[in-house]
Amino acid sequence: MIEIGFHTDAFNSSYWSFEQCLQWAQKNDIHYIECGTIDGVSWLRGLGYQPHVSLTQDPLALREKMDGYGVKFSQLDAAYPVSLPEGASYGLIYILNTIRWAKLVGCDHIDTTDHMQKPAGMSDKEALEMMKRVYSQIIDIAERYEIIIDIEPHGYYTTKPEFMEQMLNFVDSPYLRMNFDTGNTFIAGQDPVAFLDRFKDRVSHVHVKDVSESLAASLRGELTGIAVSHTAIGDGVNVDNIKKCFDILVDIKYDGVVSIECEGQGGPMIEKSLAFVRELVADANKRIAEA
C-alpha cells in the first residue's frame, strides 16, 4: 500500500519547529514525516525555529511524542554529500550516528546523496572508489541495525543513470536502495519516468516534487537537484511525468511512502500539493488492489 508523507523542509522558510510539523501532520491526517538530522545542537532549533531533529535529543522520548500525534518517520535525511573529500570523514560519521539514533526512534530508512559538483582534483573513478569505501562502511553498520540506506538522485553522480547503477551496486546488500525523486531527475535533464523504470526494483522511498515552468526553462540540465520546489505539485511542468511514475509504482505494487516535497508557505502550498497527491495515491492503491 502506498502511504503519504512529507518532508519538513516545506516549513524551513516559516521557521517552524518540528512539533509544529507534527501538529500539521495530525491536522491533515498524515501519518509519516521526513526530516533532516542535526549531529549536534543548533540555536535555531533550540529557539523553536527549525523543523528538523537533533541527534542530541532523547530518541525514545521523541518516539513517544510522535506516537501521541499518530506520526512515524518514513525516513531521516542524513544527506551530507558523500562525494566531497570530507564525505569520507564528517559525512561518514554523521550517517553512522544517524543510523544508531534512527534505530531507537523507530525509523528504518536513511537518505544519502552526493554533491551537485564533481569533486575538485578527482577523476570519476577516484570519486566512485572513495564513495564505495564510504558506503561499504555504512552498509556494514546498517545491516547490523536493520536500517535501509537510500541513495537519492540529487548530485553530479546520482542524477546520471550510469553512475547511479554503479553506486547501487557498491555493496551486494538488500539494505542499499534508492530514494527516487521526481523533481531532481527532471531538473537534472533526465527523463524521470525512464529513470524510475530503470531502477524500479531498487526503490524503497519516493520524493514527489513538481517543477515550475520558469525554473525548468532557465535551469533544466544545469542543476542536479532542487532544495525546495516553489510550485505546488500539479501546477508545474513535471506533472505528466509524476503521473506516469505512479503508473510504474502501481506496476511494481510499491509498498511504501511517497513524501511530498515543496515550499509550504506556512501551509497553503503544501496543502494544495497534498490534495493532488491524495488523488494520485487513492487511484494507485485502488489499481494495486484490483491487480
Q: Residue 32 forms beta bridges with which residues?
A: 5, 72
- The predicted-structure confidence for 31-80, as pLDDT tens digits, reads as follows 999 999 999 999 999 999 999 999 999 999 999 999 999 999 999 999 99
- Spatial distance between the Cα atoms of 135 and 148, rounded to a whole number of angstroms: 12
- The predicted-structure confidence for 150-195, as pLDDT tens digits, reads as follows 999 999 999 999 999 999 999 999 999 999 999 999 999 999 999 9
pLDDT at 254 over 90: yes
Q: Residue 243 forms beta bridges with which residues?
A: none
Q: Are 119 and 84 in contact (CB under 8 A)?
A: yes
pLDDT for 241 equals 98
- The predicted-structure confidence for 1-20, as pLDDT tens digits, reads as follows 999 999 999 999 999 999 99
C-alpha separations of 54 from 71, 92, 163, 187 in Å: 18, 17, 32, 30
Sign of torsion, CA 142 174 151 239?
Answer: negative
Rounded to whole angstroms, the maximal C-alpha distance in the chain is 53
Q: Are 74 and 109 in contact (CB under 8 A)?
A: yes
C-alpha separations of 270 from 207, 210, 263 in Å: 14, 12, 7
pLDDT for 217 equals 96
Region at 177 (left for phi over 0; alpha for psi -120 to 50; beta for the rest): beta
Q: Cell numbers of 122, please?
A: 578527482
Q: Which residues contact 110 (CB under 8 A, 6 or more apart)?
A: 75, 76, 77, 78, 95, 98, 99, 102, 142, 147, 148, 149, 150
pLDDT for 291 equals 87
Sign of torsion, CA 233 236 241 243?
Answer: positive
Q: Cell numbers of 221, please?
A: 540540465
Report yes or no on whether pTM surpasses 0.85.
Answer: yes
What is the identity of the amino acid at 240?
Answer: D
pLDDT at 278 over 90: yes
pLDDT for 172 equals 97
pLDDT for 196 equals 98
- Spatial distance between the Cα atoms of 218 and 233, rounded to a whole number of angstroms: 19
pLDDT at 272 over 90: yes
pLDDT at 237 over 90: yes
Q: Are 169 and 201 in contact (CB under 8 A)?
A: no
- CB count within 10 Å of CB 221 equals 10
Q: Are 146 and 100 in contact (CB under 8 A)?
A: no
Return the ∠ at Cα 111 (arms to 139 and 210), rounded to 5°: 150
- Spatial distance between the Cα atoms of 35 and 53, rounded to a whole number of angstroms: 7
Q: Which residues contact 259 (CB under 8 A, 6 or more apart)?
A: 4, 5, 6, 7, 32, 34, 74, 75, 205, 206, 207, 208
For the chain, the structural domain boundaries read 2-290
Q: Is 25 helix (H, G, I), strand (E, B) or coil?
A: helix
- The predicted-structure confidence for 108-137, as pLDDT tens digits, reads as follows 999 999 999 999 999 999 999 999 999 999
CATH number corresponding to 2-290: 3.20.20.150
